[in-house]
């Protein structure tokens, strides 16, 4: 009995051991499954983070490529990949015809002067030697702010070339400017200037020194603040005037205030306040609406810079007759420029239309035919075609100018052609 009991107990122990091992194996399998799920979860998170980083890198690359393609080289010569373009800051010497900081005894290059200078002059007589009878021309044209230019006499023994920064005679003191024209073309410009007396030409002293240029740059920085201060003073004094620009003399002893006004302005009190505020000599100079637009600049309806602020320096009168000759509708909103006056470009093609109209018949005359009376509608001067229609019809018939002239001469002799269709002109469509 005891042996049987011992045997039974051993069997029970073995069964218990077997159950214990089976339970441990199951626990190990459960642990392995949990670890596997955790591993899969970590791999998914890792893939998601990698894809997110890749998307961020792609977006940064696309942004850097966009900035590199849409950054103008004039504003940012060396755009840095991945960074925003540098904010363009206009140099204070730009209105003087110099895009960078000038240096003493160093010529401002022609390329730099031509890209930033208003009313730039191309010296087409530079390589042509003057006649031996005339000899060397010892006068130069010096440019100051915007369109302010003047002629000066070179002292004997001093060689000056275009682009030199020079010190010239002022009233009083001296001024600093950049030589814009020399040689024979300067002689031509002086002869073209009406009422110019060569005996009253001021002197050119020397090339500007480093101290002259430093003082010149200092007074340039004061111009914007002086402009706003003057406008506030004019408003306080209830003066009906608009201060457009301020130009300080190179030595800082004088300032010219440019203004526009419809009527005469008594600015004596304003001059006293300005003299007390800046402790310099004040000069007020009135300019017209066209000169104001040329000094301020802007973009015209054609999409280009204003002609008066780039190359046009002689303003010719523009009348409504100029628009009528070119068959333009008298719409003041379309024909007026930034200055509120008629656009100067209306004069550009006026001579061409005048020459074309010499062989034209009288415009606006109705034609008499056997079929009926034809009424005038419009004309294309450059194509030399008139458009007519019968009174009882709305169909336009194009007729050449020479045929219209012929029909008018027939009508004057009490003769009439059969119809206008026989004179119909062929108009080629625009390709």
- Whether 322 shows a pLDDT value over 60: the answer reads yes
Q: What pLDDT is attached to residue 105?
A: 82
Taken in order 224, 225, 228, 229, the sign of the CA dihedral is negative
- Whether 26 shows a pLDDT value over 70: the answer reads no
With 0-12 / 13-18 / 19 or more C-beta atoms within 10 angstroms meaning exposed / middle / buried, residue 406 is middle
Distance CA(41)–CA(51), nearest Å, equals 15
Sorted by where each begins, the domain ranges of the chain are 21-77, 102-217, 222-292, 360-423
Structure tokens at 294: 């040329």
Of all residues in the chain, the percent with pLDDT exceeding 70 is 81
Whole-number CA gyration radius for the chain: 42
- Whether 249 shows a pLDDT value over 60: the answer reads yes
- Whether 78 shows a pLDDT value over 70: the answer reads no
- Whether 75 shows a pLDDT value over 70: the answer reads no
List the end-to-end C-alpha distance of the chain, in Å, as a whole number. 123
Out of 3.30.750, 2.60.40, 2.30.30, 1.10.3470, which CATH number does the structure's domain 360-423 have? Answer: 2.30.30
Number of Cα atoms under 13 Å in the Cβ half of residue 329: 4
CA distances from 1 to 6, 9, 10, 14 (A): 9, 12, 14, 20
Cβ contact 386:407 at 8 Å: no
Distance CA(404)–CA(361), nearest Å, equals 7
Kind and range of the H or E run holding 259 = strand 254-260
**Average pLDDT, stretch 350-379?**
88
**Average pLDDT, stretch 390-401?**
88
What is the side-by-side order of every strand in the sheet holding 242-248?
242-248, 254-260, 281-286
Name the residue among 74, 167, 66 with its Cα closest to residue 116: 74
| Mean pLDDT across the chain | 81
The structure tokens 């000899």 sit at 135
Cβ contact 372:391 at 8 Å: yes
Q: What pLDDT is attached to residue 2?
A: 46
Structure tokens at 1: 């009995």
Question: Per CATH, which fold does 222-292 belong to?
Answer: GMP Synthetase; Chain A, domain 3 (3.30.300)
Name the residue among 94, 75, 95, 97 with its Cα closest to residue 86: 75
Q: What pLDDT is attached to residue 165?
A: 93
Residue 315 sits at φ, ψ, to 5 deg, of -95, 120
- Whether 168 shows a pLDDT value over 90: the answer reads yes
- Whether 39 shows a pLDDT value over 50: the answer reads yes
- Whether 42 shows a pLDDT value over 90: the answer reads no
DSSP string covering 381-392: TTTTEEEEEETT
DSSP string covering 128-173: SPPPTTT----EEEEE-STT-EEEEEPPTT----TT-EEEEE-SSS
Q: What pLDDT is attached to residue 82?
A: 54
Distance CA(304)–CA(315), nearest Å, equals 19
Distance CA(207)–CA(204), nearest Å, equals 9
Q: What pLDDT is attached to residue 113?
A: 81
């Amino acid at each position: 009995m005891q042996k049987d009991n011992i045997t039974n107990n051993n069997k029970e122990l073995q069964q218990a051991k077997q159950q214990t091992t089976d339970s441990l194996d199951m626990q190990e399998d459960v642990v392995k499954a949990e670890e596997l799920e955790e591993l899969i979860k970590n791999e998914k998170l890792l893939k998601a983070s990698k894809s997110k980083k890749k998307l961020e890198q792609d977006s940064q690359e696309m942004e850097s490529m966009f900035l590199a393609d849409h950054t103008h080289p004039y504003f940012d010569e060396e755009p840095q990949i991945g960074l925003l373009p540098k904010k363009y800051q206009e140099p204070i010497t730009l209105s003087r015809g110099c895009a960078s900081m000038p240096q003493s005894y160093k010529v401002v290059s022609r390329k730099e002067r031509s890209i930033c200078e208003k009313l730039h002059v191309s010296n087409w007589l530079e390589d042509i030697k003057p006649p031996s009878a005339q000899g060397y021309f010892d006068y130069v044209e010096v440019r100051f702010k915007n369109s302010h230019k003047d002629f000066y006499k070179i002292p004997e023994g001093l060689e000056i070339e275009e682009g030199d920064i020079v010190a010239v005679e002022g009233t009083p003191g001296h001024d600093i400017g950049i030589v814009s024209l020399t040689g024979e073309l300067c002689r031509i410009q002086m002869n073209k200037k009406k009422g110019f007396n060569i005996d009253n030409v001021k002197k050119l002293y020397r090339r500007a020194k480093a101290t002259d240029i430093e003082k010149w740059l200092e007074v340039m920085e004061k111009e914007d603040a002086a402009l706003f201060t003057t406008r506030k003073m004019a408003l306080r004094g209830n003066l009906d005037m608009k201060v457009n620009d301020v130009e300080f003399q190179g030595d800082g002893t004088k300032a010219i205030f440019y203004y526009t006004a419809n009527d005469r302005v008594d600015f004596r009190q304003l001059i006293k306040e300005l003299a007390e505020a800046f402790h310099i000599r004040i000069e007020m100079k009135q300019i017209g609406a066209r000169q104001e637009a040329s000094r301020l600049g802007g973009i015209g309806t054609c999409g280009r810079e204003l002609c008066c602020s780039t190359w046009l320096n002689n303003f010719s009168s523009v009348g409504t007759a100029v628009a009528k000759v070119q068959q333009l509708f008298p719409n003041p909103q379309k024909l007026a420029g930034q200055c509120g006056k008629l656009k100067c470009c209306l004069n550009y093609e006026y001579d061409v239309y005048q020459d074309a109209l010499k062989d034209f018949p009288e415009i606006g005359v109705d034609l008499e035919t056997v079929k009926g009376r034809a009424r005038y509608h419009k004309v294309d001067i450059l194509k030399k075609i008139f458009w007519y229609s019968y009174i009882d019809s709305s169909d336009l018939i194009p007729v050449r100018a020479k045929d219209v002239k012929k029909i008018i001469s027939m009508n004057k002799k009490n003769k009439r052609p059969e119809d206008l269709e026989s004179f119909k002109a062929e108009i080629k469509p625009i390709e």
